[in-house]
């Protein structure tokens, strides 16, 4: 009989053990300054960042998404207004980053100045991310803090940005390699971003 297991343990088990060990042995006495604490509630779908895991759980249910954003706005002393909800739904429905010229026709009932202000408030609350690469117009999308970790393909000519998901196995490998390098430099990673640049089919 072999003295070692004949079957590799499944990956989820290994991940769980690794994260469990990381929590017990690597937790600093104080979180690094770049850690921002998310709004949480009992049963929140957004996982804690403290164990170093990324945002894996998507807020796919629209009510959960609204609830999470409401909490984030309240934490900033803001109310969740109908304008906030409208802009969030436009970004969630688009499934790709949008520029303000793309957002405005989708929110005809909201004055243009309110759209700008709403995006700024949502960005400050960590609900919306502003992407500044690619073109003169900034793109806006739901923040990765709300659950959907992904990467971008950016056209250098027209500035279009497309969201892409990497294979989970590759994502794990990238994460492990980044963590390995970061540990050498004393950085505890709580997120990463990898974007690819080139020329789209229309521009090449």
Tell me which residues touch Zn ion (CB under 5 A): 141, 155, 157-158, 163, 200, 203
Minimum distance from CB of 148 to Zn ion (Å)? 8
* Integer-rounded Cα radius of gyration of the chain: 20
Comparison of 178 and 200: residue with beta carbon closer to Zn ion: 200
Query: What are the tokens at 74?
Result: 């309240």
Beta-carbon neighbour count of residue 139 at 10 Å?
23
Triad 44, 49, 52: Cα angle to 5°:
140
Minimum distance from CB of 163 to Zn ion (Å)? 4
Beta sheet of 151-155, edge-to-edge order: 161-164, 151-155, 195-198
Three-class DSSP category at 141: strand
Pairing of strands 151-155, 195-198: parallel
> Could you tell me if residue 156 is left (phi over 0), alpha (psi between -120 and 50 degrees) or otherwise beta?
alpha
Comparison of 80 and 140: residue with beta carbon closer to Zn ion: 140
Minimum distance from CB of 134 to Zn ion (Å)? 9
Minimum distance from CB of 182 to Zn ion (Å)? 22
Minimum distance from CB of 166 to Zn ion (Å)? 13
Comparison of 158 and 183: residue with beta carbon closer to Zn ion: 158
Residue of 120, 119, 80, 125 whose CA lies nearest to 103: 119
Comparison of 171 and 188: residue with beta carbon closer to Zn ion: 171
Three-class DSSP category at 51: coil
Comparison of 71 and 98: residue with beta carbon closer to Zn ion: 98
- Residues 111/90, Cβ–Cβ less than 8 Å: no
Minimum distance from CB of 56 to Zn ion (Å)? 16
Comparison of 74 and 165: residue with beta carbon closer to Zn ion: 165
């Amino acid at each position: 009989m072999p003295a070692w297991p004949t079957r590799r343990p499944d990956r989820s088990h290994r991940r769980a053990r690794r994260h469990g060990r990381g929590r017990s042995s690597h937790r600093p006495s104080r979180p690094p300054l770049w850690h921002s604490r998310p709004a949480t509630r009992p049963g929140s779908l957004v996982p804690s960042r403290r164990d170093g895991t990324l945002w894996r759980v998507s807020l796919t249910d629209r009510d959960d998404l609204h609830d999470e954003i409401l909490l984030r706005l309240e934490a900033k002393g803001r109310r969740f207004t109908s304008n906030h909800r409208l802009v969030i739904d436009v970004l969630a429905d688009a499934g790709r980053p949008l520029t303000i010229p793309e957002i405005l026709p989708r929110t005809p009932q909201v004055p243009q100045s309110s759209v700008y202000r709403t995006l700024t408030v949502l960005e400050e609350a960590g609900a919306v991310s502003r992407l500044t690469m690619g073109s003169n117009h900034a793109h806006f999308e739901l923040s990765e803090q709300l659950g959907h970790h992904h990467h971008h393909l950016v056209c250098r000519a027209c500035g279009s940005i497309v969201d892409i998901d990497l294979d989970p196995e590759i994502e794990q490998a990238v994460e492990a390699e980044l963590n390995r390098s970061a540990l050498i430099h004393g950085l505890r990673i709580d997120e990463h971003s990898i974007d690819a640049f080139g020329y789209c089919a229309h521009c090449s």
